[in-house]
Structure 1
Amino acid sequence: MLITFQSKAAPDVTMLKDLAGYLLGLVGKRLDVRGVITREQLPGAIERLEAAIVDDKNTEEGSAPLHHTTHANAYEHRAGLSQRAYPFLDMLRQARDQEADVIWGL
């Protein structure tokens, strides 16, 4: 199932339900039938999501040697949180800058 986030400040962001639920959990929200991140909540939500991205990058860098393969000296690469969260984080930042809410619905 797809979830679409909307704001007057940014283009819509659509993602899979599992990722949407995970990202909302990181910013202190739950994936309900409808929801909102108010303009007052945006600075804290952005801060929490940015901190989670930094933690994920640190974890990924620390475990990179563990994923090293001897075949062709290649590294297994997974899409990190920063890549998956960027469109949502960008929307939150634009909404904060324009003092707009972010809403979603199933």
Structure 2
Amino acid sequence: MLFKFKSKVAGDLIMLEPNGRRVLEIIGKDPSQAGIILPAQMSAALSALEKAIQAEDEAIEKAKRNANNRDTDISDVDCVTPSASQAIPLRQRSLPFVELLKKCLKADVEIVWGV
């Protein structure tokens, strides 16, 4: 399944289901149905994404430090996602969505998906 995010000020943003679902859950939206992000909700959505990105970055750094201290591979560390050494971080996966949010917030235009 794909998520297609649409707005009047930017091209469609298409995300694979796991990534789109994660982003929507982080910002407090129900990914199981069509929805809308209003301009009034975008600042909070950006803040939630920034906090999640920061938390993941810190967890990855902690895992790297622990792996270096124990002289083990980062993939052996349980405090991060299972294949953290090879996973693409939230920071990178969510960047197009963050940019879309910022653009729509500036233009005072909503984002919709599933319609």
Q: TM-score with structure 1 length normalisation?
A: 0.85
Report % sequence identity: 29
- Aligned residue pair count: 100
Question: Which consecutive unaligned segments of at least 5 residues does structure 1 have?
Answer: 70-75
Instruction: Tell me, yes or no, if structure 1 residue 78 matches structure 2 residue 90.
Output: no
- Which segments of 5 or more consecutive residues in structure 2 lack a partner in the other structure? 74-84
Moved over 3 A (4+): none
Distance of 2:93 and 2:19 partners within structure 1: 8
Q: Report how far residue 60 of structure 1 moved.
A: 0.8
Displacement of 1:32: 3.2
- Matched residue of 1:30: which SS? coil
CA distance in 2, matches of 1:77, 1:58: 16
RMSD of aligned residue pairs (Cα, Å): 1.6
Measure the CA separation in 2 of the matches of 1:79 and 1:104: 23
1:95-106 mapped onto 2 (5 Å cutoff): 95-105=104-114
- C-alpha distance in structure 2 between counterparts of 1:97 and 1:54, whole Å: 23
Corresponding residue for 1:54?
54
Name which structure has the greater RCO, CA cutoff 8 Å, separation 6+: 1
What is the SS of the residue equivalent to 1:41? Answer: helix
Partner of 2:78: none
Structure 2 length as normaliser, TM-score? 0.79
